[in-house]
């Protein structure tokens, strides 16, 4: 009869929708299944569960003693799926168990070091649109910067949330790190407060991330023109790293963003990451390290004249200084590369 016919049609429609969904999932798994994930990808697809650990690390600005943020929540967003919000934290390294918020001094976790803030979080595998880190500001007791003279300054986050592009989580155990590029993300405002934006902050897959580190010859600070004109030889020394190998028609640029009040020439290449130097207390050598970088080709440049490098405005600094301090490097997945910056200009 007509009622049975309608029921049969409805059942057939349900079967069709189930099959269509299965085909959609299969297509997604094919697109996401490349083995760049750093694990055995033969059985990876967008179905199943990811077990995630998440850490925080930073690249060091040279003239600050502490950069402390108080984190209220971390949210993983995915289109068509309810947000996963982590708002209770257990962090053994800080002695914290099931707390609503936590404070972290980012300068304690430099280079390849990190603080693990989430452990064994179960997520649906697949591609996420955003990772949002909500930071409590507007209170010097919550988020703050301690300057070199020990003055404490209030630290705020633009909009209260750091929003990062979401990754693709494979169906496996995965460990990621939020790399805080403070030389790019941290700005001192005219009010004396500091502002942190998402500029220079990246999410890196620990399994595939590379690193580069090395010593820097201190003679480059003050023995070669124009570096020998500096009143303080140890100030303003930085390493800039650029993606790829820009040709001779391109200029290696200082730090800037889209809000620059100065015009950025079309031939300028923006740095991918910026690192300052730290003096080893045991050897007295000056050293640098970039951690959690995607594998690939990079150009590394040393500059001794970076004290005026504003994180927002293009400052038209000459990089490299001294001239010739430019290095071409290739970083392999999961590898730790060493490149010593020397007067000879080779590594």
pLDDT digits (tens, 9 = 90+) for 206-257: 999 999 999 999 999 888 888 988 889 999 999 999 999 988 889 999 999 8
CA dist 110 and 106 (Å) reads 7
Q: What is the DSSP string of 237-292?
A: -EEEEEES---TTSEEP-S--TT-SS---TTEEPPSEEEE-EE-TTT--EEEEEEE
- Count the residues in the chain: 347
Q: Alpha helices, DSSP H only, in the chain? A: 2-32, 182-185, 219-222
What distance lies between CA 207 and its chain's CA centroid?
Answer: 15
- What's the pLDDT band for 172 if we cut at 50, 70, 90? confident
For residue 74, what are the contacts with CB-CB under 8 A and spacing of at least 6?
Answer: 54, 85, 86, 117, 118, 131, 132, 133, 134
pLDDT at 225: 80
| pLDDT value, residue 341 | 95
Angstrom distance (rounded) from CA 55 to CA 115: 5
Q: What is the pTM of this model?
A: 0.81
136-152 burial, b for 16+ CB within 10 Å, e for fewer?
bbeeeebbbbbbeeeee
How far apart CA 71 and CA 176 sit, in angstroms, is 17
Express each pLDDT in 253-283 by its tens digit: 999 988 899 999 999 999 999 988 989 999 9
């Amino acid at each position: 009869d007509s009622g049975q016919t309608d029921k049969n049609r409805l059942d057939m429609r349900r079967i069709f929708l189930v099959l269509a969904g299965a085909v959609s999932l299969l297509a997604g798994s094919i697109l996401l299944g490349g083995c760049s994930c750093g694990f055995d990808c033969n059985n990876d697809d967008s179905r199943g569960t990811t077990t995630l650990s998440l850490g925080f690390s930073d690249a060091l600005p040279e003239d600050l003693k502490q950069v402390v943020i108080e984190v209220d929540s971390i949210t993983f967003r995915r289109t068509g799926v309810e947000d996963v919000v982590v708002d209770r934290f257990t962090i053994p390294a800080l002695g914290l168990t099931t707390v609503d918020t936590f404070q972290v001094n980012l300068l304690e976790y430099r280079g390849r070091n990190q603080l693990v803030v989430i452990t064994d979080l179960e997520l649906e595998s697949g591609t996420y649109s955003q990772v949002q880190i909500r930071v409590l500001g507007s209170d010097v007791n919550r988020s703050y910067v301690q300057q070199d003279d020990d003055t404490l300054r209030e630290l705020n986050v633009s909009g209260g949330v750091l929003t990062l592009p979401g990754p693709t989580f494979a169906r496996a155990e995965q460990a990621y790190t939020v790399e805080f590029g403070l030389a790019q993300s941290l700005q001192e405002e005219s009010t004396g407060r500091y502002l942190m934006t998402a500029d220079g902050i990246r999410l890196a897959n620990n399994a595939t991330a590379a690193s580069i580190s090395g010593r820097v010859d201190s003679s480059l600070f003050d023995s070669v023109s124009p570096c020998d004109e500096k009143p303080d030889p140890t100030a303003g020394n930085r390493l800039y790293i650029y993606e790829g190998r820009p040709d001779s028609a391109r200029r290696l640029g200082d730090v800037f963003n889209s809000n620059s009040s100065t015009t950025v020439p079309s031939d300028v290449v923006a740095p991918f990451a910026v690192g300052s130097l730290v003096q080893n207390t045991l050897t007295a050598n000056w050293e640098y390290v970039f951690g959690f970088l995607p594998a690939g080709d990079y150009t590394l440049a040393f500059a001794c004249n970076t004290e005026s490098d504003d994180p927002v405005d293009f400052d038209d600094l000459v990089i490299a200084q001294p001239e010739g301090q430019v290095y071409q490097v290739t970083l392999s997945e999961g590898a730790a590369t060493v490149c010593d910056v020397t007067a000879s200009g080779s590594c």
